[in-house]
A and B are shown apart, each in its own frame.
Chain A
Amino acid sequence: MAQSYEIDEKKSLTSKVVTLRIARFNPEKDSDTKFMEFIVNVEKWTTVLEAILDVKQHFDHSVAVRYSCRQATCGSCGMVINGKPRLACFTKVSELQSEVVTVEPMHNFPIIRDLTVRFDRLFNTHHKVKPYLIRDDSEITSNTKEFLQSPEELEQFIQFSNCIKCGLCNSACPTMATDSSFVGPQALAQAYRYVADSRDKGKDTRLKIIDESHGIWRCHFAGSCSQVCPKGVDPAMGIQLLRGYMLGFRS
C-alpha cells in the first residue's frame, strides 16, 4: 500500500516537485515489497540520495539506506533507480527526466531492509579471484626497487582499477539472477585487472580459479554490467579479454 507525504518546505523559484517511490521491505516482518510515496521538492542539482535523505530527515527516519562519501567513491549507495542500477549519490533527479522516481534495492543481492542489501557474495567472489599482486619478491623489502611499468603496460588494466565494488554490475547481470554460484562481472573484471598487470605472476592461479562450471564461461555477454558501471569500467570487455587468455589468443 502506498503512502503519500508532502514536504512543506519553502520552495525556491527553481525547485521542482517529484514523487519519490521508495521500496520498503523488512525480511523479518514483510512477505513482499511495498512502495511508499513521498512528494519532494528538488533542485536541478539534487541527487537521488539527497532526496532520500530529505525523506529520512522530514518524514520517515526508518527508511534504510546505505551511504557514505556522497561523491561516487565509496560505492555504498548502489540501488535500482527507475529500473536501472545506479549510484544514488551520482544520479541527479533532474537527469532522470521523470515526475516519478522509483528507488528499489539492487537486484541479485539479499535484502537486509528497504534499500540496503547484503554484500557477502560480492566480497567473497572478489576475494576468491585473489585481487592483489602475486609474486615472490616485494617492493617493500630493503635493497629492492619499485616494480616499474611502461604507460603501455599500465594502459592494459588501468580502467579496471577504478572499480569501487558498488555491485551495480552484479545487480545488472542476467546470469547473476539465475546462477547463484556465478562468479559475477565484478570479480571477473578484477581477475582481468591483475592478470593483465605486468607486475603480477599469478596469472595461472587466477585463471584456474575462474575456469570452473560457474566461472567465466557462464557470461552471456549481455553487456549490461558495462552499461551501468558509474566509473567507466567495462567488465564485459575484461571478461572477453580473459577468455582470450584461456583460448590461447593472448599470453
Chain B
Amino acid sequence: MRESHIMKIHYGTALAAIGLVAVHILMRLTQGFAESLEYESVIANYRFLPYAGLLEIILILLSIHGFNGLRVILLELKQGQTYEKAVSYGCIAAMIALIAYGSRTIFMTNMGLM
C-alpha cells in the first residue's frame, strides 16, 4: 500500500475517533463518574447494541491509528529492510490481536456470555 493511502487512513481514523470519542464522553456524562464505572452499569452499556457498536468502532479506529503511529515512530528510530518489514508486520499483527481481544469482550458481553 502506498504511504499516502496509509496516511489518509491515519488522518481519517483520527478525525472519526475525535467525533465518536466525543459522543462516548457525552454519553458517560449522563451518569456520575463512580456510577459509570460500576459493574452493572458497564455490563448494561455493553448490552445496549448502539453503544456497544460505538465502542467497537472506537476500538477499531484507535487501534489502526495508534499502531500506525507506533510503526511510524519505530521506522524513524532505525532503518533496514528486515527491521522495517518486522515493524510493519508486527504492528499489523498487534493491531489485529488488540481488535480481536477487545471485540471478544464486547461481543461476549453483548450476547450475555459474561
Binding site for B on A (CB under 8 A): 175, 178-182, 211-215, 217-218, 246-247
Residue of B2, B4, B7, B11 with most partner-chain A CB within 10 A:
B4
Which of chain B's residues have a CB closer than 8 A to the CB of A180?
79
A213 touches B4 (CB 8 A): no
Report the stretch among B35-43, B53-61, B69-77 that lies at the interface. B69-77
The chain A residue with its CB closest to the CB of B77 is A178
A212 to B4, CA, bound (A): 8
Which of chain A's residues have a CB closer than 8 A to the CB of B76?
175, 178-179, 182, 218
Within the complex, the shortest CB–CB distance from B4 to chain A, in Å, comes to: 4
| Residue in contact with B75 in the complex, picked from A211, A214, A246, CB distance below 8 Å | A214
Give the contacts of B64-85 with A (CB-CB under 8 A): 72, 75-77, 79, 84
A179 to B3, CA, bound (A): 16
Residue of A175, A213, A217 with most partner-chain B CB within 10 A:
A213
A36 to B30, CA, bound (A): 68
| Residue in contact with A247 in the complex, picked from B2, B4, B72, B75, CB distance below 8 Å | B4
Would you list the 10 A-B pairs with minimal beta carbon distance, nearest first?
A: A246-B4, A179-B76, A181-B79, A211-B4, A217-B7, A178-B76, A180-B79, A217-B3, A211-B3, A211-B2
Known: A175-B76, A179-B75, A179-B76. 5 other contacts (CB 8 A): A178-B76, A179-B79, A211-B4, A217-B3, A218-B76
Given A211-B4, A213-B3, A213-B84: A218 in contact with B79 (beta carbons within 8 A): no
Main secondary structure of the interface of A (DSSP, over half): loop
Binding site for A on B (CB under 8 A): 2-4, 7-8, 11, 72, 75-77, 79, 84
The chain B residue with its CB closest to the CB of A208 is B2
Residue of B2, B8, B84 with most partner-chain A CB within 10 A:
B2
Which of chain A's residues have a CB closer than 8 A to the CB of B11?
247
Within the complex, the shortest CB–CB distance from A180 to chain B, in Å, comes to: 5
A247 to B3, CA, bound (A): 11
The chain A residue with its CB closest to the CB of B75 is A213
**6 A-B contact pairs sorted by A residue (CB < 8 Å):** A179-B76, A211-B2, A211-B4, A215-B3, A217-B72, A218-B75
A246 to B5, CA, bound (A): 9
Which of chain A's residues have a CB closer than 8 A to the CB of B79?
179-181, 214
Which of chain A's residues have a CB closer than 8 A to the CB of B4?
211, 217, 246-247
Within the complex, the shortest CB–CB distance from A167 to chain B, in Å, comes to: 20
Within the complex, the shortest CB–CB distance from B82 to chain A, in Å, comes to: 14
Within the complex, the shortest CB–CB distance from B10 to chain A, in Å, comes to: 9
A217 to B1, CA, bound (A): 14
Within the complex, the shortest CB–CB distance from A136 to chain B, in Å, comes to: 26
Which of chain A's residues have a CB closer than 8 A to the CB of B7?
217
B72 touches A218 (CB 8 A): yes
A212 to B72, CA, bound (A): 12
The chain A residue with its CB closest to the CB of B6 is A217
Within the complex, the shortest CB–CB distance from B53 to chain A, in Å, comes to: 29
Within the complex, the shortest CB–CB distance from A179 to chain B, in Å, comes to: 5
A211 to B2, CA, bound (A): 7
Within the complex, the shortest CB–CB distance from A223 to chain B, in Å, comes to: 18
A182 to B72, CA, bound (A): 12
Within the complex, the shortest CB–CB distance from B65 to chain A, in Å, comes to: 14
